[in-house]
Structure 1
């Protein structure tokens, strides 16, 4: 740990002296290499073009501050993992020359409630978790445990600040970039929250472009997953989130600051952070008009823990069992979690699926059945439905287009009529095609993962920069 701290200190000093011109004191010529003080080897995943570019830049710059590069190994995760996350031992993980690593370029992404436990806690040091840094601090562990079990935002912020202070002091890494996403879109678009859209797949009932009845969104990947609990791709999550809803949802209202508010639930409360009493909105219905009641909640939660079922909401699995839900009446229930959690509301924000549609299907067949229904021109609009503002009207497999239509039952119980009657998610295979379509008014927004430059945004369009959360770093 001491050696890695010394390397970190040298890197920070070096950045100030040579790499960042604004701090150049004149003692180091940033254009010339100096005699290396020591040598290191650099690992960088080849799967991320942007991160590989940063790694290449740093490999070019480090010799200018006296850090020689012995090997620049930009390779796949199959080669990186045995040196880091899956190092077979003995421990601690050694240097690159001995089968471990010196510096690894890596990126971490997070959302509103990002948990750092598996990254920096002592109990997660490899091979027990993802802490390949081998970072260990009893002060951090104490602060994190208090943070994780805090039941009020005030306490959580206090312990979060403590964690931040500790990691700023001795975290074995150097951050080189905080990623920002660029969403190019129609300048008249209102009602969207970039942060919620990026991290939480905001539902689109309040999105508006005056004078338009349809909205076109470009995505850089084709559609592969059609079940809201079983998707792998963020691009599928975006359109599926328009179809389904949860007990609680994050609000874009400035009054709530993106915190959770009741949605299918009309109210919820807990005295101990373990058992939550929930009253459902008695007017809530599915997009086919069926009443949404406590049995749908029970079915969804029991499905999550069914053997062999691997839901995208796997983070909730340590907190629930097949007996977590206790139905009190048609529109009232208790949900009891197995342990306290500062982010317990996440476990109440799981998308609920209609029991009357899915119960006849074996859980192990849900994913394949969802795709079969989605590709059927008749059954898609009958089966791929939820309680959200839209339902699946059609999936064009030839052109890669998801067509959603407005759920006419939605305003009956929410009081909100979705502005757009139709929403299309269109697959574009390249950035140039998407930008051209945006310029020609054939699209209203393109996803940030097309990675356009500011200079490429059409003059007729606008754009929004969104903090993506997480960072790109050099792990030591």
Structure 2
């Protein structure tokens, strides 16, 4: 007996003669359930669209048909039968500051081909240029709303759902922003536990070996280990940080800042009450030293592994509390022309943890830059690389049992944190993580246990957060039916747009989420994730 998924139940059984045919190209990992491709066949068939093949491919196979199309036989990306694609189903990972530059910017095609759907709407290009050169968060929402509305209307990508993640929390925990926590942009000083003043966070990763210790290369700048990201924001203070309410960047170690009229210089005044966790005062020299390390060739921070290093031309100290950042490009949303890597907001340049020059520079002169690859509390470096000006400091690091312990930094300039001890521990397996929170052994279980929303009981509660990922059907906007529309009965791009709208209309996103995605994700509207900065709440699926 053949049992079909609920997805493939037809609205009616009347046979429809196909009007045209196309191919679906999809990343093979995105087959959500056995009925997903069958559902696509059935729904498009009702529109008179015949799917010749559902090509489940890996990234290398997709790349040569999309963003890495060789541009030899054609100077554009053609249809699937000609070596390109018709519709390509992909998941997109976005940042908290959603940035359509690259993915939909016409300047990126064909040189970089990130705009592989070949979307060339002139109104969109104009709005994108305004967004790209904006230097004020107050303007971002207006520009982003315009961009979202154009994408919503023109549909160069048909968004299916926004992927979500699940954390498991003890019911005593409050003010724990799991969304910012998942983005490593959290504010631990605001966390509260109504039962006691300790918080235990558990994760499923058994990260052992020489490349996964706490002091991974350049750990004070970029966490390589996933777990490192869960303590770095607690220990290292940065010039700017994410606001716990708006999620926008706000001054942190910086008192205030000004941007030059041409956007190339940022003058920053530091707070006068900042001390490192050893009691030493923070000065502008410490900030300059930290950022100079970004551009130090010996650290091998290439523009690919660290695109930000190519964005800062120079840092000049004016006095002990003032310094000037000189940028390669104007302070705004920018696309690095050297790498085509997208810098979502220039504020990200000012979001690195600061280390103390007087402690680290002598160690570099004695042991060289290899100290950044050494384990903390080792013979050469002790804990000097962990000395910073965040709300917490590391009090214990145990590589054998993967336990890290943090306690409040007594010299921190802010209000005393509510939690007096944070522990990061390894607990194996989904069942182990669930039992730990349910029985009160742990307070927060990481999203990578992949809990189900119904995994609730005892002291546990779920927290569902945006993963800032979308599943999208990217359309070849030069396709004769779906894009340019020259083969439609009317023969216009407008006719092709209404075919895209019809496809979007027949796809029941709620049903896809419920049947194929464990009731976790959210039906999508555009490619901008719902929890990102500037998401337009007025649009409806």
TM bucket normalised to smaller: 0.7 to 0.9
Matched, 1:334 2:324: yes
Moved over 6 A (4+): 18-21
CA separation of 1:238 and 1:177: change in aligned 2, threshold 3 A: same
CA contact (8 A) 2:456 2:462 kept: yes
**Counterpart residue number, 2:112:** 128
Deviation at 1:122, TM superposition (A): 0.6
Q: Which has the higher contact order (CA 8 A, sep 6+)?
A: 2
Specify which of 41, 45, 64 is matched with residue 42 of structure 2: 64
- Partner SS for 1:143: helix
**Counterpart residue number, 2:161:** 177
Deviation at 1:33, TM superposition (A): 7.8
Indicate the RMSD between aligned Cα atoms, in angstroms.
3.1
CA distance in 2, matches of 1:403, 1:370: 21
TM value normalised by structure 2 = 0.73
Comparing 453-462 and 36-45, the one that deviates more: 36-45
**Counterpart residue number, 1:240:** 232
CA contact (8 A) 1:230 1:312 kept: no
- Partner SS for 1:169: helix
**Counterpart residue number, 1:284:** 274
- Partner SS for 1:151: coil
Deviation at 1:159, TM superposition (A): 2.0
CA contact (8 A) 1:86 1:126 kept: no
How many residues in Structure 1 have an aligned counterpart in Structure 2? Answer: 439
CA distance in 1, matches of 2:191, 2:308: 30
CA contact (8 A) 2:8 2:42 kept: no
CA separation of 1:401 and 1:63: change in aligned 2, threshold 3 A: same
CA separation of 1:43 and 1:198: change in aligned 2, threshold 3 A: same
CA contact (8 A) 1:245 1:387 kept: yes
Specify which of 89, 93, 109 is matched with residue 105 of structure 1: 89
Deviation at 1:246, TM superposition (A): 0.8
CA distance in 1, matches of 2:154, 2:275: 52
CA separation of 1:429 and 1:107: change in aligned 2, threshold 3 A: farther
**Counterpart residue number, 2:25:** 43
Deviation at 1:241, TM superposition (A): 1.4
Deviations 1:299-329 (A, max 9, x none): 12222233331489945345311x2x22111
CA contact (8 A) 2:301 2:309 kept: no
Deviation at 1:373, TM superposition (A): 2.4
**Counterpart residue number, 1:394:** 396
CA distance in 2, matches of 1:71, 1:233: 40
Matched, 1:407 2:409: yes
Matched, 1:158 2:160: no
* 1:41-440 mapped onto 2 (5 Å cutoff): 41-46=23-28, 48=29, 51-53=30-32, 56-65=34-43, 66=45, 67-90=49-72, 91-223=75-207, 224=212, 226=216, 227-252=219-244, 254=245, 257-272=246-261, 273-307=263-297, 308-310=300-302, 314-321=306-313, 323=314, 325-338=315-328, 339-342=330-333, 343-359=345-361, 360-361=363-364, 369-374=371-376, 376=378, 381-410=383-412, 413-414=413-414, 416-440=415-439
CA separation of 1:311 and 1:243: change in aligned 2, threshold 3 A: farther
Deviation at 1:177, TM superposition (A): 0.6
Deviation at 1:118, TM superposition (A): 1.0
- Partner SS for 1:177: strand
Deviations 1:181-207 (A, max 9, x none): 222101121222233223352031221
CA distance in 2, matches of 1:98, 1:316: 39
CA distance in 2, matches of 1:147, 1:199: 23
CA distance in 1, matches of 2:169, 2:201: 9
User: Any stretches of 5+ residues in structure 2 without a counterpart?
Assistant: 1-5, 334-344, 476-541
CA contact (8 A) 1:43 1:74 kept: yes
Deviation at 1:278, TM superposition (A): 1.8
CA separation of 1:278 and 1:158: change in aligned 2, threshold 3 A: same
CA distance in 1, matches of 2:410, 2:81: 64
CA contact (8 A) 1:404 1:423 kept: yes
Deviation at 1:209, TM superposition (A): 0.6
CA separation of 1:130 and 1:145: change in aligned 2, threshold 3 A: same
CA contact (8 A) 2:162 2:470 kept: yes
CA distance in 2, matches of 1:260, 1:229: 18
Deviation at 1:437, TM superposition (A): 1.3
CA separation of 1:217 and 1:453: change in aligned 2, threshold 3 A: same
CA contact (8 A) 1:270 1:276 kept: yes
Deviation at 1:163, TM superposition (A): 1.4
CA separation of 1:88 and 1:233: change in aligned 2, threshold 3 A: farther
- Partner SS for 2:290: helix
- Partner SS for 2:423: strand
